[in-house]
Amino acid sequence: MNYSCSRYELKCNDCGKRFGNQPLSACPDCLAPLEVAYDLDAVRGIFTRENIAAGPPSIWRYAALLPIPDGFQPDLPVGFTPLIHAKNLGKRIGATNLYVKNDAVCFPTLSFKDRVVSVALANAQRFGFETVGCSSTGNLANSVAAQAARLGIKACILVPADLEAAKILNTQVYGARLVRIDGNYDHVNRLCSQIADEYTWGFVNVNLRPYYAEGSKTVGYEIAEKLGWKLPDNVVVPMAGGSLIRKIRKAFQELIYLGLVEEKHVRFFGAQATGCSPIATAVKQGTEDVQPQKPNTIARSLAIGNPADGPAAAKMIRDSGGWAEDVSDVEIVSGMQELAETEGIFTETAGGVTTAVTARLYAHGRILPDEITVACITGNGLKTTDSLVGHYAEERAIRPRLADFGDYLRELEGAQELAVAGDIHGN
Amino acid sequence: MNYSCSRYELKCNDCGKRFGNQPLSACPDCLAPLEVAYDLDAVRGIFTRENIAAGPPSIWRYAALLPIPDGFQPDLPVGFTPLIHAKNLGKRIGATNLYVKNDAVCFPTLSFKDRVVSVALANAQRFGFETVGCSSTGNLANSVAAQAARLGIKACILVPADLEAAKILNTQVYGARLVRIDGNYDHVNRLCSQIADEYTWGFVNVNLRPYYAEGSKTVGYEIAEKLGWKLPDNVVVPMAGGSLIRKIRKAFQELIYLGLVEEKHVRFFGAQATGCSPIATAVKQGTEDVQPQKPNTIARSLAIGNPADGPAAAKMIRDSGGWAEDVSDVEIVSGMQELAETEGIFTETAGGVTTAVTARLYAHGRILPDEITVACITGNGLKTTDSLVGHYAEERAIRPRLADFGDYLRELEGAQELAVAGDIHGN
């Protein structure tokens, strides 16, 4: 089960030993995580602005720097989501060059996990796995279930028992086997590692993890391309396991090395919920010693108390001159509302984390107003509607008559005047 | 408030009278609906395959044939959604050349309504409306609320009081004023017409309707472009008001006239829920006399009992040699599940209608297996999760231990063997 490829192979982050291509996530010698290493010079003539522009409007336009089998025929047009100039949000929080990378509309399952899953499943097929699985806080479950259905691979997905209803349904509907585990994500993840040792299954975020994680690089490529092949000054990224932020940096470094963008020092900022902030806490304390936490936050897609890539993420954030912040559940909901009200983008709780943290970074002067800054929105608000329950009153229904509508408007205006007069928070 | 434009203007469908560009939906003389008429020859040199390919990955690549003001700067990258070769669904229902047009991932609010709203709001701004509104079965409400928020226009949205919770929340979150009306969509719609006469508001599907409806043409353009500038043999389209199916045909006719595709006779098939099937009933009865119905179906986004474009849609379907079908609520849920299980696409109830109707059209031999057929999926399943409540059992949670997982799998296998042995419907 070891496949050769001239473009890339697995390499130990610590000892540098190389392993070809196989379903393996850690170095047997030093136990450090493996990463996909590329022969960048070999793709220099292929991975060009022109070739990319001529490619499909999906992540597969960057195929030359993704760890997929030679001759791989992409099945689905994943990714290539909008990058929006967030002028209105910017006005509210004091930013003139703020952009939002919007994976809330990622194809097929409305989160950035679609990117990593499509790369993982390409490798699951190459390695001949008939069943794939994952431990998930929800978005990953949705994406594995949907893409496995399309590819005709069996899926067995393990989630914490208390997951949001919409994320559970959005896994079951694809016909996947969903196993609810009595515990939090860290319990589920540990169990998956044990299952991967015992059964010959491809776990996208366990034994296929090095390939899987590379899919996140496409967020970085898309940011650069959609900025007109420029790098931003700052990137704000939500952190669960800590992988996405590192892979965006890897993408930027590859683009610099290959000359697709000019060299630039990009600062990376991490966003977490206060109720699960092991990486942000480490960054604030100036350490890479990430202390596990027991998660307690509505941002369940970020609720990983013992993040696999936490220490590396903390280090790279500090090395870049960036910072990390964490926000309360109340601020998370406000962040979701703020992004919706200003930019018309409805994001899930994790996006509320990113938005609220971004606002704070501007408020504290850690990001300056005119710096080009990209905030990464990674999932859709329709998956976490529970978090908004009770935030909007159900108003009485009115009869379908013009006179009733007029009365209703007058009542509203009266209420607003009263509210303004009494300095009460109105509508 | 009458704006001149060399490319297009409003024209009466019946008497042919022209009206320039103004917020007006019906001919004052003969009361027939107005439609946007283009000087197609004037855009012949502009609306080319090459120019379109060089345009942005959004509906604005087709701007030359959209009724937007000259010099209009698109604000958001709406549309340009995937067209998927539905190989698995095809296998299940006996089709080899079936494609799915997937507006379940349309930017920004996950339905094809984003297309029409962006064109409508461009006109609302041109005509100087400070408040926009709509009557809606849900998707339109979401899109108007989101896009108005982004553009900084006030929005007042009227919906039937019993709308799905997710669609209500997905309107309120953008800060729009949502007015619940005690009645069905047809009541709401009538009230909106009266409001539009009384207040100087821009109602996207009332006084801005001719512009609004043109946004639907982009579905047709995208289908043709993504098929490699070819027209399909058949298109299956869900019908609420009956506008979308007509505009897809208009798009195809324009493409033929301008030489972007070869002339081809395309057959159009309409899909409705049995609980609200006025157009399908008329088609089956061989008449254009569409009898209003009182809607009673879980496909609430299609629940328009008195469809504005019903007679015209019925006529064009029959003229094309197509057909219309309607399916029960049970079949709608099965259709949603079938599309999810085979293609990994989670659609709302309306998409279940389209999928179930498509299956029936193949089963009845109205569409032949190898004909190139496109089924239009217009919205996302996360908006109508209520329809699936009770369809998936909540299984007991297991402890995070390998032994417990093994027991669980063995139990499952046992249950499946029993199910097979006893011919009971298992997992």
pLDDT tens sequence across B128-153: 999 999 999 899 999 999 999 999 99
For residue B351, list chain A residues with Cβ-Cβ distance below 8 A: none
Judge whether residue B88 has pLDDT over 80. yes
Give the span between the Cα atoms of B358 and B412, in whole angstroms: 34
Minimal CA separation from B266 to chain A, in Å: 26
Residue B427 pLDDT: 36
- Distance of CA B20 to CAs A221, B7, B10, Å? 45, 11, 6
Cβ separation B188–A400 shorter than 8 A? yes
CB contact under 8 A, A381 and B170: yes
- Measured in angstroms, the CA of A338 and the nearest CA of chain B are apart by 8
Rounded mean pLDDT, B152-158: 95
Identify the residue among A174, A332, A408 best suited for mutation to test binding to B, counting B beta carbons within 10 A and taking the highest.
A174
**Cα(B11)–Cα(B251) distance, integer angstroms:** 17
| Segment A321-324 long-range contacts (CB within 8 Å, at least 24 positions apart) | A321/A265, A321/A267, A322/A234, A322/A267, A322/A268, A322/A269, A322/A270, A323/A269, A323/A270, A323/A283, A323/A361, A323/A366, A324/A239, A324/A269, A324/A270, A324/A271, A324/A272, A324/A279, A324/A280, A324/A283, A324/A284
Look up residue A236 and give its DSSP letter: E
Contacts of A102 in chain B (CB under 8 A): 107-108
Q: pLDDT tens across B23-62, in order?
A: 999 999 999 999 999 999 999 999 999 999 999 999 999 9
Q: Which of B131, B345, B389, B410 is the best substitution to test chain A (most A C-beta atoms within 10 A)?
A: B345
Distance from CA of A17 to the nearest CA of B (A): 31
User: Does B147 sit within 8 Å of A191, measured CB to CB?
Assistant: no
What pLDDT was estimated at residue B326?
A: 98
Residues of B with Cβ-Cβ distance to A173 under 8 angstroms: 336-337, 340-341, 346, 381, 388, 392
Distances (CA, A) of B172 to A32, A125, B188: 48, 43, 18
**Mean pLDDT (chain B, rounded):** 94
- Cβ distance A107 to B105 less than 8 Å, yes or no, reads yes
Under an 8 A CB cutoff, do A385 and B166 touch?
Answer: yes
Closest partner CB to A341 (pick from B149, B343, B346): B149
- Which pair of tokens denotes residue A62? 């960057």
The pLDDT confidence band at residue A413, using thresholds 50, 70 and 90, is confident
Model confidence at B420, pLDDT cuts 50, 70, 90, reads: low
What is the per-residue pLDDT across A153-211, written as a single tens digit (0 to 9) for each?
999 999 999 888 888 999 999 999 999 999 999 999 999 999 998 899 999 999 999 99
Q: A7 near A38, Cβ under 8 Å?
A: yes
User: Per the CB < 8 Å rule, is A198 touching B174?
Assistant: no
Mutation pick from B58, B113, B159, B173 vs chain A, by most beta carbons of A within 10 Å, is B173
pLDDT at B425: 41
Q: Contacts of residue A226 in chain B, CB cutoff 8 Å? A: none
CA distances from residue A16 to A9, A32, A36, B75 in whole angstroms, order as listed: 12, 10, 11, 48
**DSSP letters spanning B215-241:** TTHHHHHHHHHHTTS---SEEEEE-SS
Phi-psi region at A345: left, alpha or beta (left = phi > 0; alpha = psi -120 to 50): beta
Share of chain A above pLDDT 90, in %: 87
Indicate whether A423 pLDDT > 90: no
The Cα B154–Cα B316 span in angstroms is 37
B157 → chain A, closest CA residue = A405
Give me the pLDDT at residue A165, please. Answer: 86
Angle between helices B217-226 and B243-257 (to 10 degrees): 50
Nearest CA-CA distance, residue B275 and chain A, Å: 22
pLDDT of residue B202: 95
For position A426, what pLDDT does the model report?
A: 36
- pLDDT, tens digit (0-9, with 9 covering 90-100), for B229-244: 999 999 999 999 999 9
Query: CA of B3 to nearest chain A CA: how many angstroms apart?
Result: 29
The two structure tokens encoding residue B374: 């496109």
pLDDT band at B6 (very low <50, low <70, confident <90, very high): confident
Tokens read off for B111? 């339905």
Residue B422 predicted with pLDDT over 50: no
Instruction: Say which residues have a Cβ less than 8 Å from residue A92's Cβ, sequence separation at least 6.
Output: A338, A342, A359
- Select from A184, A180, A187 the least CA-distant residue to B400: A187
A400 and B191 within 8 Å at the Cβ level: the answer is yes
Q: Which of B182, B385, B398 sits opposite A400 (nearest CB)?
A: B182
pLDDT given for residue B393 in this prediction: 81
- CA Rg, chain A, in Å? 22
- Tell me which residue of B279, B266, B209, B208 sits closest to B238, measured CA to CA: B279
Region B166-184: what's the mean pLDDT? Answer: 93
Range with the poorest average pLDDT among A105-119, A187-201, A258-272, B82-96: A187-201
The residue length of chain B stands at: 427
A31: left (phi over 0), alpha (psi -120 to 50) or beta: left
Interchain contact, A107 vs B81, CB within 8 Å: yes
Please tell me the distance from the alpha carbon of residue A253 to that of residue A257, in angstroms, as a whole number: 6
Which of A105, A115, A191, A409 best tests the B interface by mutation, with the highest count of B CBs <10 A? A105
Q: What pLDDT is attached to residue B417?
A: 66
Q: Assess whether pLDDT exceeds 70 at residue B272.
A: yes
State whether A81 and B149 contact (CB < 8 Å): no
Taking the C-alpha atoms of residue B162 and residue B181, their distance in angstroms, rounded to an integer, is 9
Q: What is the dihedral of CA B138, B140, B141, B145, to 10 degrees?
A: 150
Distance CA(B302)–CA(B39), nearest Å, equals 33
SS3 A102: strand
Cα gap B268→B357, rounded to integer Å: 13
pLDDT at B250 over 80: yes
Place of tokens 């070739």: A51
Tell me the mean pLDDT in the region A384-402.
90
pLDDT on residue B169: 92
Residue A395, amino acid: E
Cα separation, B280 vs A167, whole angstroms: 35
Interface size A-B, in CB pairs within 8 Å, comes to 204
Above 70 in pLDDT, residue B345?
yes
Q: Do B180 and A395 touch (CB under 8 A)?
A: yes
Residues of A in contact with B88 (CB under 8 A): 149-150, 152
From chain B, pick out residues whose CB is under 8 angstroms from the CB of A344: 76, 108-109, 145-150, 174
**Per-residue confidence (pLDDT) for residue A417, from 0 to 100:** 66
CB contact under 8 A, B344 and A108: yes
Residues of A in contact with B392 (CB under 8 A): 168-169, 172-173
Split at pLDDT 50, 70, 90, the class of A353 is very high
Region A354-372 average pLDDT: 98
pTM for the whole structure: 0.94
Mean pLDDT of A273-285: 98
Q: Quote the pLDDT of residue A420.
A: 54
Q: Where are the alpha helices (DSSP H) in B46-128?
A: 49-54, 87-93, 113-126
Q: In this predicted model, what pLDDT tens digit does every residue of A325-336 receive, in sequence order? A: 999 999 999 999
- pLDDT grade, residue B421 (50/70/90)? low
**Contact yes or no for A275/A296 (Cβ under 8 A):** yes
Check CB contact under 8 Å for B191 and A336.
Answer: no
What distance in Å separates residue B231's CA from the closest CA in chain A?
20
Mean of the per-residue pLDDT values of chain A: 94
Strands, sheet with B177-181, edge to edge from the N-terminal-most edge strand: B177-181, B154-160, B131-135, B202-203
Listed range (A86-95, B158-167, B297-306) with the worst mean pLDDT: B158-167
Structure-model confidence comparison of residues B70 and A63, the more confident one = A63
Q: Do B382 and A166 touch (CB under 8 A)?
A: yes
Tell the burial category of B191 from Cβ atoms under 10 Å away from its Cβ (0-12, 13-18, 19+). buried
What is the mean pLDDT of the segment spanning A29-58? 95
Res B423 pLDDT > 70: no
State the nearest Cα–Cα gap between A18 and chain B, in angstroms. 31
CA pair distance B366, A98, nearest whole angstrom: 52
d(CA B302, CA B237): 11
